[in-house]
């Protein structure tokens, strides 16, 4: 086996079973001990024995996607939408091509900090012959997008390695791991007297007494404190709400962390706080003199291409010591799990008996005014297509608070971030730092499998839908009620709008004519069209009608003629960072093109 196992795996309690067991049986046993409900993958010659075992599982259901990348996105969503991280997504895929197909989903988990367990087959290790089918060094292949990978070489390693891989995936900064089990180990049996019993990892305690006291002093002394939450705060929403209310502090979130603070709370300002943020967030944080950042990396999207102003008094809580102070210097860094640190911070603030009700009322009033003004601006932008603000307001009215929304990468992503009110934890699922198109359709499948009693909707651009839209057939096969709202405008609009501002020209962003009804008919899904504002309410009601036992594809003739604050803000911020000579060159070129057409 490549690498070594942690010593704790050697001292696990064991249970006597006796008899001969194949490696596939051992792998199935190990997976059944973990919080896994479904696996995703396409069977092949290197995994048929393992799939035969999974088909007999009392606990795990193997799911056949149309493509391993879709399987990875679906598994990702299982991890993201499971309450408090109670489940982990799992892939069971063939080596080589299966792994390369899945790598976009694996990379998404790696950069977004999402646990994922990848089990692959491998060529036979008991033969002297080279050039076997799917023969490739998988550990070298995935280096850089997994936390760690293993290749087992004997039966006795299979269960301990899978257990260790799971612990690695969920400990520290969560992420993907990969275990390769050669096909000969899966197929052939060996005598097995006993097998390990899984013991879940215990959370690491944090000893941050001095840092917590210093953080409380800074927050209490601040004239205009603010709170910035990311995915790392998604399981501490209630204590963060209480901290915000005690301090009278506005709260902004990252894109991935939109469900880390309720959007209907009066202190919720929006995503980010740079010039690329909505006015409520930009204005609420304009005078911020002390920022409490929880579970954020200050990455490119929520900072508006790193255009936000972060105060000197930055209190940064994150599970990764590498993240704290990496992009913006932190006055106080608290390294550890937010689920342990934030309640301690709240208890210390409550012990101070602070009262900032007056400041809180002022902040809430300013946020409400700015939000109302921004919504009115969007409502007033009317033409013969579907107004995004009216669409998201009506969708919010018809969805329950705990409904899950998956989005893709595109203009629709930032429209949703600005115009849709996310209310409950783990209910907004988005590709973020890896930012792969094609995410939303399969992610909705994983979300629905993990949360069968909840509404699941997907907002996806037509360009992203062209990548993975046929995965809808998997939802049809499984009888999943998922509403896929496809924002149909015939362009890759996020990029085309980003081209228009500096270039006054669009390049390579026009899509072919897409007949969504044909795709719905081909896969067996229902089909609905929303052509204008008058149809929004009735057609959303039709799309969300319960009891259909099948997904529905909704062709939304969206109006993209008004740009989001995010699009305008990031382009301007990026241009501002250019050298002077290139700023002038871009400006002159855009002006000439505007004048000459």
Provide the residue ranges of all domains of the chain, joining segments of one domain with +: 7-196, 209-369, 381-567
Residue 9 is predicted with a pLDDT of 44
Choice among 121-125, 132-136, 342-346, 534-538 with the minimum mean pLDDT: 132-136
User: pLDDT at residue 102 above 80?
Assistant: yes
Residue 392 backbone phi and psi in degrees, to 5: -70, -35
CATH for 7-196 is 3.40.50.970
Which segments within 306-397 are labelled E, that is strand? 314-318, 332-335
**pLDDT level of residue 269 (50, 70, 90 thresholds):** very high
Q: Would you tell me the crossing angle of helices 338-351 and 209-221 to the nearest 10 degrees?
A: 50
**Share above pLDDT 70 across residues of the chain, in percent, rounded to a whole number:** 98
Mean pLDDT check: name the lowest of 9-18, 518-527, 557-566: 9-18
User: 223-237, 350-364, 496-510: which range is least confident on average?
Assistant: 496-510
The average pLDDT across 22-33 equals 96
Average pLDDT over residues 52-76: 97
- Look at residue 7 in the predicted model and tell me its pLDDT: 38
Of 504 and 428, the one with more pLDDT: 428
Which three-class secondary structure state does DSSP give residue 377? helix
381-567 has the same fold as 7-196: yes
CATH code for the structural domain at 209-369 = 3.40.50.1220
Rounded Cα distance, 78 and 210, in Å? 38
Would you state the structure tokens that stand for residue 538, as one six-digit string?
A: 């009735």
476 versus 493: which is more confidently predicted? 476
pLDDT, residue 63, reads 98
The DSSP letter of residue 231 is G
Region of poorest pLDDT, from 11-20, 226-235, 403-412, 536-545: 11-20
Mean pLDDT across 586-594: 76
Which of these, 433, 444, 451, lies nearest to 113 by C-alpha position? 433
According to the model, what pLDDT value does residue 2 have?
53
Q: Can you give the pLDDT at residue 445?
A: 98
- Which residue in 186, 170, 169 sits closest to 50, CA to CA? 186
Residues 451-463 have pLDDT tens digits of 999 999 999 999 9
∠ at Cα 66 (124, 448), nearest 5°?
Answer: 115
Q: Would you say residue 16 has pLDDT above 80?
A: no
CB-CB contact of 408 with 494 (8 Å): no
Nearest to 159 by CA among 20, 47, 32: 32
Quote the percentage of the chain above a pLDDT of 90: 81
Mean pLDDT of 524-542: 98
pLDDT at 11: 60
Average pLDDT, the chain: 93
Tokens of 195: 């097998």
| CA–CA separation, 461 and 487 (whole Å) | 5
CA 511, CA 467: separation in Å to the nearest integer? 12
Sign of CA dihedral 492, 493, 496, 502: negative
**Band of residue 594 on the pLDDT scale cut at 50, 70, 90:** confident
Tokens of 325: 């102070």
Among 178-182, 386-390, 486-490, which is the least confidently predicted range?
Answer: 486-490
Over residues 105-133, mean pLDDT = 91
pLDDT greater than 60 at residue 497: yes
CATH top class, domain 381-567: alpha beta
pLDDT value, residue 275: 94
Instruction: Give the tens place of pLDDT for each residue, 303-319.
Output: 999 999 999 999 999 99
Q: In which residue are the tokens 């009216």 written?
A: 390
Phi, psi of 42 (to 5 degrees): -110, 120
Give the model confidence (pLDDT) of 163-179 as tens digits. 999 999 999 999 999 99
Residue 1 confidence class, pLDDT cut points 50, 70, 90: low
> Which pLDDT does position 5 carry in this prediction?
44
| 67-96 residue pLDDT tens | 999 999 999 999 999 977 789 999 999 999
Where does residue 248 rank: exposed (0-12), middle (13-18), buried (19+ CB within 10 A)?
buried
Residue 6, pLDDT > 60, answer no
Q: Does residue 531 have a pLDDT over 50?
A: yes
Residue 541 vs residues 332, 371, 399, 509, 545: alpha-carbon distances, Å:
49, 26, 10, 32, 6
Lowest mean pLDDT among 54-68, 131-145, 521-535: 131-145
232: closest CA among 343, 133, 336?
336
Looking at per-residue pLDDT, the higher value among 543 and 597 belongs to 543
């Amino acid at each position: 086996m490549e690498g070594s196992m942690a010593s704790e795996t050697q001292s696990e309690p064991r249970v006597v079973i006796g008899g001969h067991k194949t490696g596939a049986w051992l792998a199935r046993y190990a997976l059944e001990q973990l919080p896994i409900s479904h696996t995703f993958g396409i069977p092949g010659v290197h995994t048929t024995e393992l799939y035969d075992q999974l088909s007999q599982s009392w606990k795990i259901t193997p799911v056949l996607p149309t493509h391993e990348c879709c399987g990875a996105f679906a598994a990702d969503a299982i991890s993201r939408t499971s309450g408090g991280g109670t489940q982990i997504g799992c892939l069971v895929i063939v080596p080589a091509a299966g792994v390369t197909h899945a790598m976009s989903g694996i990379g998404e988990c790696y950069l977004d900090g999402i646990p994922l367990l990848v089990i692959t087959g491998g060529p036979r290790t008991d033969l002297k012959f080279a050039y076997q089918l799917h023969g490739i060094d998988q550990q070298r292949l995935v280096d850089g997008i997994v936390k760690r990978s293993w290749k087992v070489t004997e039966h006795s390693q299979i269960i301990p390695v899978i257990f260790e891989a799971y612990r690695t995936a969920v400990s520290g900064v969560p992420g993907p791991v990969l275990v390769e089990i050669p096909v000969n180990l899966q197929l052939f049996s060996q005598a097995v007297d006993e097998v390990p019993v899984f013991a879940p990892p215990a959370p690491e305690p944090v000893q941050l007494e001095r840092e917590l006291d210093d953080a409380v002093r800074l927050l209490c002394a601040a004239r205009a404190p603010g709170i910035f939450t990311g995915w790392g705060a998604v399981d501490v929403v209630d204590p963060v709400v209480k901290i915000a209310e005690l301090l009278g502090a506005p709260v902004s979130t990252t894109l991935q962390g939109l469900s880390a603070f309720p959007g209907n709370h009066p202190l919720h300002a929006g995503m980010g706080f740079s010039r690329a943020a909505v006015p409520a967030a930009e204005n609420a944080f304009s005078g911020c003199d002390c920022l409490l950042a929880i579970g954020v990396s200050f990455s490119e999207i929520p900072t508006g291409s790193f255009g936000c102003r972060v105060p000197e008094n930055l209190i940064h809580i994150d599970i990764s010591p590498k993240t704290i102070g990496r992009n913006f210097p932190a006055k106080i860094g608290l390294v550890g799990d937010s689920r342990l640190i934030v309640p301690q911070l709240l208890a210390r603030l409550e012990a101070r008996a602070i009262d900032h009700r007056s400041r809180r009322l002022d902040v809430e009033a300013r946020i409400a005014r700015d939000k109302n003004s921004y919504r009115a601006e969007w409502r007033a932008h009317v033409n013969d297509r579907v107004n995004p603000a009216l669409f998201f307001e009506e969708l919010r009215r018809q969805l329950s608070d705990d409904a899950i929304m998956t989005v893709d990468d595109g203009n629709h992503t930032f429209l949703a971030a600005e115009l849709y009110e996310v209310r409950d934890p783990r209910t907004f699922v988005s590709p973020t730092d890896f930012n792969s198109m094609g995410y939303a359709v399969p992610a909705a499948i994983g979300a629905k499998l993990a949360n069968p009693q909840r509404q699941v909707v997907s907002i996806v651009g037509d360009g992203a839908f062209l990548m993975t839209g046929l995965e809808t057939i998997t939802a049809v096969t499984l009888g999943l009620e998922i509403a896929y709202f496809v924002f149909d405008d015939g362009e890759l609009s996020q990029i085309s709008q980003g081209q228009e501002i500096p270039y006054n020209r669009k390049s390579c962003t026009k899509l072919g004519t897409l007949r969504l009804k044909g795709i719905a008919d081909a896969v067996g899904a229902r089909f609905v069209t929303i052509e204008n504002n008058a149809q929004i309410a009735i057609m959303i009601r039709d799309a969300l009608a319960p009891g259909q036992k099948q997904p529905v594809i909704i062709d939304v003739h969206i109006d993209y003629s008004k740009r989001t604050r995010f699009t305008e803000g990031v382009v301007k911020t990026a241009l501002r960072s250019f050298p002077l000579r290139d700023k002038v060159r871009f400006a002159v070129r855009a002006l000439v093109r505007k004048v000459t057409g």
